[in-house]
Chains A and B, each alone.
Chain A
């Protein structure tokens, strides 16, 4: 069985229709468990007080903001190399979700930063690279909207995605590259396993992170299905217009029934 069979829109629609309900329920359960547990049933931190509860939103959204761009990078590369339309549409579908995750990460970070650092914003390496990532998301979405020919839009946005990936990686590793600024290092380093978060905070955080991940996948599947349908809709409408033109070749454009 080859993964490329899912590049077929019909196969993708069939598989995603089967996956989507279960994924959505699982995502809702995990997000609700993580947030309710974190908000209602975790103690205050000895240093940060109740602001520690923001971690259940800030960390998962920041994680997904970066991973969404990396998913778009993979999809863009598949488009550029293999020209599978579903991958280009999946990248397009993921961008608004990634943008929302970035905004949540920036907003919760600023709100959390004010009582802890004494400022909403600082030109810290991680914060700045996240802001640039946010601008890349805006540019990516705007570029898709600006170009009418879908294949050309997919080509140009893929190139933009490749360039933006530098900032996606930079926002992940900025604290390691420049050992300065206000933002701390990662609280949950996957590679070393030496996390700085106590179990009482960590378990609901894992639920929240898994939940945000599943929510992202569910939203991307739903939105990719919409993009595939939208593309078919435009093709059918174009065919209808062409058929109308053939039926009434002498009708001036201004009197055409579709104009």
Chain B
């Protein structure tokens, strides 16, 4: 499946591994925080509307 990377296999795979991990982390964290803040805001707005 993985192409023959010769003697640089570890070098190339570690570069891809670290980069994809970092990209996944920033994407995952951004989506997680977006959902968490939206959930909190919806709950707060609902509470505020009920009070008025």
Residues of A at the B interface (CB closer than 8 Å) are: 35, 39-40, 44, 49-51, 53-54, 57-58, 61, 96-97, 100, 103-104, 107-108, 111-112, 114-115, 215, 219, 222-223, 225-226, 229-230, 232-233, 236-237, 239-240, 243
Contact = CB atoms under 8 A, between A and B. Distances in A.
28 contacts: A39-B3, A40-B3, A49-B8, A50-B3, A50-B4, A53-B12, A53-B16, A54-B15, A96-B29, A97-B30, A100-B23, A104-B23, A111-B14, A111-B18, A114-B11, A215-B27, A219-B30, A226-B30, A226-B33, A226-B38, A229-B37, A229-B41, A230-B41, A232-B41, A233-B37, A233-B40, A236-B48, A240-B44
**Interface residues of chain B: helix, strand, loop or mixed (majority):** helix
A173 B13 CA distance: 29
Interface of B: 3-9, 11-12, 14-16, 18-19, 22-23, 25-27, 29-31, 33-34, 37-38, 40-41, 44-45, 47-48, 51
- Which secondary structure dominates chain A's binding surface? helix
Given A107-B15, A107-B19, A243-B51, 19 more contacts: A50-B3, A53-B12, A54-B11, A57-B16, A96-B26, A100-B22, A103-B22, A104-B23, A219-B27, A219-B30, A223-B33, A226-B34, A226-B38, A229-B38, A230-B37, A232-B41, A236-B48, A237-B44, A240-B47
